[in-house]
């Protein structure tokens, strides 16, 4: 018998038992009740930001982080 490795997500972050797969949250944060945006929602908003900037390449990370921040703030409000 070998030692089992803990499950991790695509970023290498250890997942808790029973957590959702594929970037879709199972529920909200137990502390705040906040429901986080899905990866697909972030991807779509990041693409919209990319288009708003004139479809110029080189700022993919900024677009992703801005989309994630925007969507998280709108869900809390």
Instruction: Say if 26 falls within a structural domain.
Output: no
Range of the domain at 67: 39-76
Over residues 2-18, the mean pLDDT reads 58
Angle between helices 60-76 and 39-52 (to 10 degrees): 120
Residue with tokens 């970023």: 11
Instruction: Say if 30 falls within a structural domain.
Output: no
pTM for this entry: 0.55
pLDDT at 68: 96
CA–CA gap between residue 26 and residue 71 (Å, rounded): 17
CA distances for 24 relative to 9, 54, 56, angstroms: 12, 29, 29
pLDDT at 18: 46
Instruction: Say if 69 falls within a structural domain.
Output: yes
Q: What are the pLDDT digits (tens) for 14-61?
A: 655 444 445 444 445 555 666 789 999 999 999 999 999 999 999 999
Return the closest-CA partner of residue 49 out of 31, 34, 36, 68: 68
Domain count, the chain: 1
Instruction: Say if 15 falls within a structural domain.
Output: no
Instruction: Say if 33 falls within a structural domain.
Output: no
Buried b (16+ CB within 10 A) or exposed e, 23-40: eeeeeeeeeeeeebbeee
- Is the pLDDT higher at 73 or at 15? 73
């Amino acid at each position: 018998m070998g030692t089992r490795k803990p499950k991790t997500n695509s970023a290498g972050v250890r997942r808790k038992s029973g957590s959702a797969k594929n970037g879709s949250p199972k529920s909200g944060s137990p502390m705040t009740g906040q429901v986080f945006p899905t990866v697909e929602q972030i991807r779509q908003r990041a693409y919209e930001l990319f288009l708003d900037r004139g479809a110029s390449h080189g700022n993919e990370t900024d677009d992703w982080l801005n989309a994630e921040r925007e969507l998280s703030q709108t869900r809390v409000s």
